[in-house]
Structure 1
Amino acid sequence: MYRITNIYLLAAFGTIGGALFGFDVSSMSAWIGTEQYLEYFHHPDSDLQGGITASMSAGSFAGALGAGFLSDRLGRRRALMIACVVWVIGAAIQCSTKTVAQLVAGRVVSGLAVGVTSSQVCVYLAELAPARIRGRIVGIQQWAVEWGMLIMYLICYGCGKGLAGAASFRVSWGIQGVPALVLLAALPFFPESPRWLAGQERWEEALDTLALLHARGDRNDPVVQVEFEEVQEAVRIAREAQDVTLLSLFGPKMWKRTACGLSAQVWQQLLGGNVAMYYVVYIFNMAGMSGNTTLYSSAIQYVIFLITTGIILPYVDRIGRRLLLLTGSILCMAMHFAIAGLMASRGHHVDEVDGNSNLRWEIDGAPGKGVIACSYIFVAVYGFTWAPVAWIYASEVFPLKYRAKGVGLSAAGNWIFNFALAYFVAPAFTNIQWKTYIIFGVFCTVMTVHVFFFYPETAQRSLEDIDMIFETNMKPWKTSHIPDRFGEELERHRQKSVVDPEKGADTTHDEMA
């Protein structure tokens, strides 16, 4: 069967799995302030709305926990196929919803699929991509999330304007199933992960896949041979380990990796992205906007998010993970404290905002525009830094034997905090108003310290080379300067390849090709 081998094309199709998450975010955030939604579901209070929003994250948490076992047993590609089917079922349940309970059930089912795709697409792409561009390839996953957010938001906006009553949100929720069907149709033409194949002792298939991905089918290419040797070594080491359980991820040699991967995902949530994405309409309502102005301004925020991540992806491997994470946490901390200061000093308590009794704080005029400006800046910084880099980092820190379950656990950490914050933010805006931003600002302060002292640099390292980083006692802030062992191995392999056995003389690799 024909196989797609262009890594960028694989990433473009594969990260449709990320777009599913984006679709689900906007499918809720676009409707929570509209009359169609509020009237049909009898104006849910802040607690109920928080539960509806968070239900998808609850399903994603369960899906991410099981994703590693599913992926190791069936392979990365088949795990994604199953997730696509589950997503279509969830979209159908939401599309036909008649009660809050059915809507919650549909979002939970969709969340199961998102939990698998959000963790295993990263694993899959990390195992396919060469080390020098792995960051940008895995980062496309986050970019796809943002495309999904924007596209679904615009679809919801169009449906809200063109359709009346419940049909408006039913159609938009049904459309969510389309990208999953596209991905399901494309996956049979994807290669299986060469590292998973090697783990199953399917060596010839693993070598053929590496050759197709990196050298147009040339099994003797030096790049292919070096990659294959490192995969063999990683599998050999993996065989010496005991069968992996979730508890083994916290063993003596693994806990540091697990702490890095899991905390990166948790910190991404505690940075405050949910405040900006799930409840963007609430924020802009409190800042004095209403009606179409709120919807336009919310769409602008999604566009900013999309553009900033798209700009950083080509450079994410050159800049490095640590610098981006540290810069992001510091700047986001400043934005949170700035918004809190503006709202506390220039805002005032109200009984409701634009007819929404869930909102009890309002800030008008220039200070309100300042809040909106800070929100835009926050989203831009988030798009440049933590949004893509947290997923990249979590996909890099685990060795082969532990990777699927480790990334699954990390994604589960992301989703359980996603659930908690999605549920927390709506009541928080009702009960503690501007103090919500103080909480997120403190989280940003703590994560800055944690990243600096505990996160080693992983950019432009082979996955096997990262194993060596964690086995040393080098301080994390010094790991940006260690030599790239993969590059040295590749150069040695090229040196071996330049000897022509028939001529007994050196020949360049280009001449041999």
Structure 2
Amino acid sequence: MSSSNAAKDAGSASERDRVVRRQKTAATLATFGGLLFGYDTGVISGALIYIRDDLQLSAVAEGFVVSCLLIGAAFGATFGGRFADRYGRRTTLRLAAVVFIVATLSSAVAPTYGLLITSRVVLGLAVGAVSAVVPMYISEIAGSRRRGILVNRNELMVVGGQLIADVLNAIISRTVGGEGVWRIMLGIAVVPAIVLLIGMFFVPESPRWYASRGRYEEAATSLREIRIESDVKPVVKVMRQAARGTETHEGRSSFSYLRLRWVRHVVLLAIGIAVVQQVTGINTIVYYAPTTLQQTGFSGDAALTATIAVGAMGVIAVLVGMTLIGKVARRRMLAIGQIGVIASMALLALSFALPDSTTRGYLILFFMVVFVFFEQCFISTVTWVLLSEILPMKIRGFAMGIAVFVLWTANFLVSQLFPILTEAVGSSWTFGLFAVLNVFALVFTLKKIPETKGHSLEELEIKFRKEFSRPSDNLADVDEDDAADNDVPPATPGQR
């Protein structure tokens, strides 16, 4: 090899190292949104023991303290997705960080049940926004080979946030204790919120968002920060092909795309994936593990400490899942996870039917941990990757908002009904019901979910368009309507 070729190869390797580092840095800063997502959904499980006594909550009120955040999250996902389509992914995450800071402080100092609920609903808006936008942003800046791993950094931060919440809850409970200790538990989340706000000023905007707006020069500039130079022109060319025009899409124009059969099919598929993830029952464990363990004979402090095992297994499971997702087909991972979830939920249901004893309590904890492994390793890791991969470029934020709205709504229903169901029919029948629901989820996975591993986002969009379009679909009509809505000229035939 000549010295010039060797220098060229070394330069190319150096450039690749630079863009990989840049992708990792941008993804890591964005995933502080995932950390907040995890912490704010996980911290309530330990804080609830103290809030319940401090504010004298009924079973229904107790469930609403948990689930009110989820109401805000459902709407936050919808508005966050639309906002991200209009103003960009970075701006949306900056705004979410500000909401996190204000709502976290408000919930921590809330003197009454009403103000606590209001603060957590507003906090939910930020949680929902980051849950929709962070995976989408990371997916859009990553190449197809690293997409699964980088998107799952967010899932790692989510379960990491839940584990941090479990650990801090146990430490604060044992060292501080006393009235109002839950305020410290809730207030700590202001720290990662500040990191997210600052970090979003040091990452590039999504090049695919620029492309969806027809701003291809800015897309190319953004790509140069996260791709090697030789990849920029080919990627922009494929983006143009997938975008099929340069018009913008604001207001009601996003809804016009739902007239297309292939778009409706993909959005409905995303909704199905979101529901599948929630009917596993994962959040009955995340939100109610300490309460459930108390019912089996654990003391309050012991239940909080035992819950750390659940959080730790979540982190371990995601780390294993991040390794597998680059090697194993997405649909196969989902199916394996669902089979494991069905078995562990069934065994959990049977364990609750056993006579009261110390052994029964630890057996229930064991099957909770096994369940979390299968759910987090094989289902949650795949869910967020699939949602970030399959949706159309031009309305990705809008469509992601719809799917995640359904996800959070299902989360709310499960979380609100769980304490009511367990009180009415008992834990054994409740967990048995989740086992049955997951049988239907497994059938949906095997019959409906496509394989996306190894394909670029643009390749997937073109594939879905060809496979699910019908002859009467006319994208030109939609584009012209959009152009009229936005006072811009329709794309020329050459642009299509």
Q: Output the TM-score relative to the length of structure 1.
A: 0.83
Any conservation in 2 of the 1:281–1:295 contact (CA below 8 Å)? yes
Q: 2:445 aligns with which of 451, 456, 480?
A: 451
Match of 2:118 among 105, 110, 113: 105
Q: Which of the residues 413, 416, 432 maps onto 2:409?
A: 416
Cα RMSD for the two superposed structures:
2.1
Give the AA of the match of 1:7: Q
In the alignment, which residue of structure 1 is the partner of 2:323?
314
> Is residue 13 from structure 1 mapped to residue 26 from structure 2 by the alignment?
no
Native 8 Å contact 2:45 2:291 kept in 1:
no
Q: Is the Cα–Cα contact under 8 Å of residues 105 and 190 in structure 2 kept in the other structure?
A: yes
**Mapping 1:101-250, distance limit 5 Å:** 101-215=114-228, 218=229, 221=230, 223-236=231-244, 239=247, 244-246=253-255, 248-249=257-258
Q: What are structure 2's unaligned runs of at least 5 residues?
A: 1-18, 469-496
Deviation at 1:289, TM superposition (A): 2.1
Secondary structure of the corresponding residue to residue 224 of structure 1: helix
Q: Secondary structure at the match of 1:278?
A: helix
Bigger CA drift: 206-215 or 413-422?
206-215
Report 1:3-402 matches (<5 A). 6-33=22-49, 36-42=50-56, 44-215=57-228, 218=229, 221=230, 223-236=231-244, 239=247, 244-246=253-255, 248-249=257-258, 251-344=260-353, 346-347=354-355, 363-402=356-395
Quick one: distance in 1 between partners of 2:196 and 2:68? Answer: 24
Give per-residue Cα distances to partners, 1:17-58, cap 9 Å, x unaligned: 11111111222101223xx4333111x222111111000000
SS of match in other structure, 1:319: coil
Answer yes or no: is the 8 Å Cα contact 1:330–1:448 preserved in 2. Answer: yes
The 3 A distance-change label for structure 1 pair 448 and 238 is farther
Give the C-alpha shift of residue 152 in structure 1.
Answer: 2.0
Following superposition, the deviation at residue 142 of structure 1 comes to 1.1
Shift of 1:281: 0.9
Length-normalised TM-score, structure 2: 0.86
The reply to whether residue 436 of structure 1 matches residue 430 of structure 2 is yes
* Paired letter, 2:346: F
Whole-Å Cα distance in 2 between the matches of residues 173 and 32 of structure 1? 11
Q: Any stretches of 5+ residues in structure 1 without a counterpart? A: 348-362, 475-513
For residues 247 and 455 of structure 1, what CA distance do their matches in structure 2 show?
25
Work out the CA distance in 2 between the residues paired with 1:283 and 1:196.
44
1:237 Cα deviation from its structure 2 partner? 5.1
Q: Identity across aligned pairs (percent)?
A: 26
By how many angstroms is 1:384 displaced? 0.7
- Relative to 1, partners in 2 of residues 1:240 and 1:470: Cα closer, same or farther, differing over 3 Å? farther
Distance in 2, matches of 1:320 and 1:435, equals 34
CA shift for structure 1 position 250: 6.5
1:404 maps to 2:412 = no
| CA–CA separation in structure 2 for the residues paired with 1:291 and 1:103 | 22
Shift of 1:472: 4.7
The aligned amino acid for 1:468 is: I
Query: Conserved in 2, the CA contact under 8 Å of 1:260 and 1:394?
Result: no
Q: Using the TM superposition, give the Cα deviation of residue 240 of structure 1 relative to its aligned residue in structure 2, in angstroms.
A: 10
- Matched to 2:420, the amino acid is P
Given that 2:337 and 2:375 are in contact with CA atoms closer than 8 Å, whether structure 1 keeps it comes out as yes
Cα displacement (A) at 1:310:
1.3
1:465 is the counterpart of 2:459: yes
Q: One-letter code of the match for 2:263?
A: M
Deviation at 1:239, TM superposition (A): 4.7
Cα distance in 1 for residues equivalent to 2:257 and 2:420: 37
1:491 matched residue in structure 2: none
Deviations 1:138-157 (A, max 9, x none): 11111111111111222222
Q: Name the amino acid aligned to 1:170.
A: R
Number of aligned residues: 448
Stretch moving more, 444-453 or 275-284: 275-284
| AA partner of residue 427 (structure 1) | I
Q: Distance in 2 between matches of 1:117 and 1:50?
A: 23
Q: Deviations over 1:226-276 (max 9, x none)?
A: 212111212225759996434744641212211221111111111110121
> Helix, strand or coil for the counterpart of 1:318?
coil
What residue is the counterpart of 1:496 in the other structure?
none
**Secondary structure of the structure 2 residue equivalent to 1:341:** helix
**In structure 2, C-alpha distance between the alignment counterparts of 1:88 and 1:192, rounded to whole Å:** 23
Paired residue type of 1:13: L
